[in-house]
């Protein structure tokens, strides 16, 4: 791939400065090679076509605590070149999480039927449905035309747009402001987080709260789950980066919580800085912990990447031995992170027989670049000598229990 030509041909942009400080003192800390969009699944009619691929690299700004991609892709291409297939309600585990999220927000913010809630990155509208049931006014915005259609079919007023300051002005004309603005696993998708936050600020009144949740970089690093890195995730949030981003936008962290979703996430409640604002006392200690562990130390990542590369080499060796012995290898969970994992390991349909998933939006399609057919879990009941690789590791316990009922002879690859 000729990177000098890529920006003109594909909308690829090379960003050589920190997204919130403009500092050019960035250090490459992670390089996973060339990858397609992770949340893309290929229809049978598209199987002989090429999908776009780009370098997947993370850079660190030690000053701001920012971890960000260097090669930025066009947001419209990311979510609309193929039908976006991830849904908030795709599993019992996910549905439980978002129902509890709704209850937590209602309790913490004391919302009533007079409240107005905006969700940015509303996906299939599952979370907003919970608010709507309580007669709360809800508005949705999502970059995916496919997901917007699903949300509208549920009776939710939904806009198909990538959220930014410009679009916030259109919403402001119609709705003035919102009591609560929600953005889960989407702020990290923005190519311009400062502009995104400017749009949020524009739609807040003096008592509004902005709540966002996304994977916590500390958990990603401690669990060595680098597969949560992909093109759709432009930035990787630390508390230090969160605080510095909000400071730039005249906002502050009112409350911050950690939870186990996506293998470890932070949920942040933000408000406008008024005269007597009081920032959460936990912020300082969380940043101190991030610093002590080495999240802002370029040397730390050299050791991290050596470990990642060694584990990759060991797994490839194991899989090749299994394949040469005649084993059937099935990967479980057609997840975005699974595609990062498969493509980093260079695992394709010559090694992996199938990827299984329960989503009707994914079954019958193929994984990007690796071209592995996606089928129902029941396939493992028809295979002998089956070894399974769990890609959706965040719900692995439930998955293994289910698989054992389908074929008790399966062997879990570790």
Residue 301 located in a structural domain: no
142, 160 contact by CB (below 8 A): yes
Nearest to 234 by CA among 200, 185, 201, 268: 185
CA distance 117 to 158: 12
- 377, 403 contact by CB (below 8 A): yes
The pLDDT value given to residue 4 = 31
* pLDDT single digits (tens) 8-46: 445 688 889 999 999 999 999 999 999 999 988 999 999
Ranges of beta strands (E only) in 193-275 are 204-215, 235-236, 251-259, 265-272
> pLDDT tens across 46-57, in order?
999 888 999 999
Give me the pLDDT at residue 361, please. Answer: 87
Examine the pLDDT at 330 and tell me if it is beyond 80. Answer: yes
pLDDT above 70 (res 1): no
Paired with 389 in beta bridges are 331
Residues 363 and 221 in one domain: no
Round the average pLDDT of the chain to a whole number and report it.
92
- Residue 127 in any domain: the answer is yes
Q: What single string gives the DSSP state of each residue in 100-137?
A: HHHHHHHHHHT--TT-EEEEES-TTSHHHHHHHTTT-E
Residue 10's pLDDT is: 54
| Tens of pLDDT, residues 246-274 | 999 999 999 999 999 988 999 999 999 99
Highest mean pLDDT among 156-160, 391-395, 404-408: 156-160
Question: Residue 2: is its pLDDT beyond 50?
Answer: no
CA–CA separation, 318 vs 302, rounded Å?
Answer: 25
Alpha-carbon span 137 to 374, nearest angstrom: 38
Q: What percent of the chain has pLDDT over 90?
A: 83
Please report the DSSP string for 35-62 in residue order.
Answer: EE-TT--B-GGGTTSPPPEEEEEEEEET
CATH code for position 394: 3.40.50.720
Q: CA-to-CA distance for 302 and 130, rounded, in angstroms? A: 44
| Domain ranges, residue 100 | 1-296
DSSP 8-state class, residue 372: P
Alpha carbon of 195 to those of 70, 181, 245, 246: distances in Å? 18, 16, 11, 12
Residue 389 pLDDT class (50, 70, 90 cuts): very high
- Residues near 208 by beta carbon (within 8 Å), at least 6 away in sequence: 177, 178, 179, 180, 181, 271, 272
Is 317 among the domain residues?
no
pLDDT value at residue 11: 65
Query: Rounded to a whole number, what is the distance in angstroms from the first to the last CA of the chain?
Result: 34
Q: Alpha-carbon distance 203 to 173, whole Å?
A: 10
User: At 5, which CATH number?
Assistant: 3.40.50.150
Show Cβ contacts of residue 141 under 8 Å, excluding neighbours closer than 6 positions. Answer: 118, 119, 120, 121, 122, 158, 159, 160, 161, 163, 167, 171
Domain membership flag for residue 139: yes
Q: What is the pLDDT of residues 143-177, one digit of tens each?
A: 999 999 999 999 999 999 999 999 999 999 999 99
Shared-domain flag, residues 363 and 282 = no
pLDDT of residue 376 exceeding 70: yes
Query: What pLDDT digit, counting tens, does each position of 277-314 carry?
Result: 888 889 999 999 999 999 999 999 999 999 999 999 99
Q: What is the pLDDT of residue 225?
A: 92
Regarding whether 351 and 202 lie in a shared domain, the answer is no
CB 209 within 8 A of CB 270: yes
* Cβ pair 269, 108 in contact under 8 A: yes
Domain assignment of residue 311, yes or no: no
Considering its fold, how many domains does the chain have in total?
2
Q: Which two tokens stand for residue 267?
A: 């949920």
pLDDT score, position 300: 97
Under a CB-based contact definition with an 8 Å cutoff, are residues 339 and 36 in contact? yes
Asked if the model's pLDDT at residue 237 lies above 80, the reply is: yes
Residue 280 domain-assigned?
A: yes
**Distance between CA atoms of residues 152 and 219, nearest Å:** 35
CA distances from residue 27 to 18, 62, 216, 218 in whole angstroms, order as listed: 10, 8, 20, 18
Last residue of a domain, one of 254, 274, 296: 296
């Amino acid at each position: 791939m000729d990177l000098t030509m890529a920006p003109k041909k594909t909308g690829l942009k090379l960003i050589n400065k920190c997204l919130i400080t403009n500092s050019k003192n960035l250090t490459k800390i992670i390089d996973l090679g060339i990858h397609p969009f992770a949340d893309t699944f290929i229809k049978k009619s598209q199987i002989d076509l090429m999908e776009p691929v780009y370098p997947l690299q993370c850079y660190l700004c030690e000053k701001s605590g920012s971890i960000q991609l260097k090669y930025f892709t066009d947001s419209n291409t990311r979510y609309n070149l193929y039908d976006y297939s991830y849904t908030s309600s795709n599993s019992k585990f996910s549905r439980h999480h978002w129902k509890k999220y709704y209850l937590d927000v209602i309790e913490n913010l004391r919302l009533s039927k007079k409240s107005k809630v905006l969700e940015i990155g509303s996906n299939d509208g599952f979370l907003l449905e919970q608010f709507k049931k309580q007669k709360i006014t809800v508005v949705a915005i999502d970059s995916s035309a496919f997901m917007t259609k699903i949300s509208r079919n549920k009776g939710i007023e939904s806009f198909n747009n990538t959220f930014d300051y410009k679009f916030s002005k259109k919403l402001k004309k119609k709705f003035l402001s919102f009591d609560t603005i929600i953005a889960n696993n989407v702020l990290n998708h923005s190519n311009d987080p400062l502009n995104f936050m400017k749009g949020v600020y524009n739609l807040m009144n003096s008592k509004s709260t902005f709540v966002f949740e996304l994977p916590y970089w500390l958990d990603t690093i401690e669990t060595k789950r680098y597969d949560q890195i992909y093109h759709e995730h432009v930035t990787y949030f630390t508390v230090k980066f969160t605080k510095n981003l909000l400071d730039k936008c005249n906002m502050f962290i009112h409350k911050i919580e950690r939870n186990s979703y996506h293998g470890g996430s932070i949920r942040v409640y933000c408000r406008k800085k008024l005269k007597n604002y009081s920032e959460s006392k936990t912020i300082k200690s969380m940043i101190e912990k991030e610093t002590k562990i080495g999240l802002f130390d370029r040397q730390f990542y050299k050791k991290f990447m050596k470990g990642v590369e060694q584990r990759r080499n060991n797994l490839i060796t194991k899989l090749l031995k299994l394949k040469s012995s005649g084993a059937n290898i099935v990967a479980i969970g057609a997840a975005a992170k699974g595609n990062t994992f498969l493509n980093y390991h260079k695992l394709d349909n010559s090694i992996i027989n199938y990827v299984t998933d329960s989503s009707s939006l994914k079954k019958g399609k193929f994984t990007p670049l690796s071209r592995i057919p996606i089928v129902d879990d029941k396939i493992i009941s028809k295979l002998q000598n089956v070894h399974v690789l769990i890609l959706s590791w965040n719900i692995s316990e439930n998955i293994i229990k289910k698989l054992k009922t389908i074929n008790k002879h399966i062997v879990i690859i570790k």
